[in-house]
Amino acid sequence: MEIELKLAVIGAGTMGSGIAYASASSGHDVFVVEQDQKLLDQGMKRINDYIERGVKKGQLDKSRAEALRTSIKGTVDFAKACKNAEIVVEAVFEDPRVKEQVFIILDRTCPPRTIIASNTSSISITKLASATRRPDKVLGLHFFNPVPTMKLVELIKGDRTSEETVITASKFVQSLGKTVVQSADKTGFIVNRALMPFLNEAIKLLDEKVATPEDIDNAFLLGTNHPMGPLHLADFIGLDVVLSTLRVLETEYGSCFSPAGTLVRLVGEGKLGRKTGSGFYGY
């Protein structure tokens, strides 16, 4: 699919940097917005790391890498990034007040035709849309980490999202070589709603000394053909992320999502998985 969109990505953290890189390498014109110059420099470095990785893996040649470096523009000025944007993807902190504030600014600075997508993992799209005067042009696009490699995007319609917005956003996602699945605006959407209790139950097997970490993971590798065991996967996602997602699901759906004791303990000890060098396993 050949579409070339003008895009603004708000927040250049883990997700925003991946979304910016994936979009620019698929031919879109990308502006990245951060809170201040220092955070912007850090975000642009994350994007540059993706470019370097692309070169190392042979996915990008040197001239394409250089073209990407110059085509992804960074700014701390919302108005500059948004004035020509056709789609904005918001990827700021998972905090309803921060996101609502950003949506109010985006609504003021983007032209009326601009679609505003949130990468939120848990906040209601209908609620975010109600902070704007264009609820028909607001939707959720939930990317997965690491964005350049993960092929799925959950698309979430708010109460008033128009079909035209869904069609344009789906074409954008497909242009990145990714597949859209649609979810209702219910906490956890599809993947986290089903994955988090699965990971949590695997950790409860440890709590109850039913099996060792290695045997729990091997059971799923060999018994159900999962590419990665649940404890290994939890370490990869980040135990803090797993815990905070379970807390959100627990608040919404009740105690069936209450986090396992070992998970709470490891996070309390700062053992967050791969990123800190230890979790269920050492790295």
Ligand X SMILES: NC(=O)c1ccc[n+]([C@@H]2O[C@H](COP(=O)([O-])OP(=O)(O)OC[C@H]3O[C@@H](n4cnc5c(N)ncnc54)[C@H](O)[C@@H]3O)[C@@H](O)[C@H]2O)c1
Q: Which residues are catalytic?
A: 121, 142, 154, 192
Among 7, 8, 9, 16, binds ligand X (CB under 6 A): 16
Stretch that binds ligand X, among 22-30, 61-69, 113-121, 171-179 (CB under 6 A): 113-121
Rule CB under 6 A: choose which of 35, 126, 174, 183 binds ligand X.
Answer: 35
The residues, any chain, with a CB within 8 Å of residue 53's CB and separated by 6 or more, are none
190 contributes a contact to ligand X by CB under 6 A: no
Please list every residue from 92 through 111 that binds ligand X, using CB under 6 A.
92-94, 98, 102
- Taking Cα atoms as reference points, which of 143, 151, 152, 142 lies closest to residue 184? 142
Q: How many residues bind ligand X (CB under 6 A)?
A: 26
Strand order across the beta sheet in which 138-143 lies: 73-75, 29-33, 6-10, 87-90, 115-118, 138-143, 152-157, 179-183
* Interface map 230-269 toward ligand X (x if CB under 6 A): -----------x----------------------------
Rounded Cα gap, residues 120 and 141, in angstroms? 8
Sign of the C-alpha dihedral computed for residues 142, 103, 124 and 114 taken in this order: negative
What is the x/- site pattern for ligand X, positions 54-93, by CB under 6 A?
-------------------------------------xxx
d(CA 78, CA 212): 50
CA distance 63 to 264: 47
185 φ, ψ to 5°? -80, 65
Q: Decide whether 14 or 162 has the Cβ nearer to ligand X.
A: 14
Q: State the residues that interact with ligand X by CB under 6 A.
A: 10-16, 33-35, 39, 43, 91-94, 98, 102, 119-121, 142-145, 241
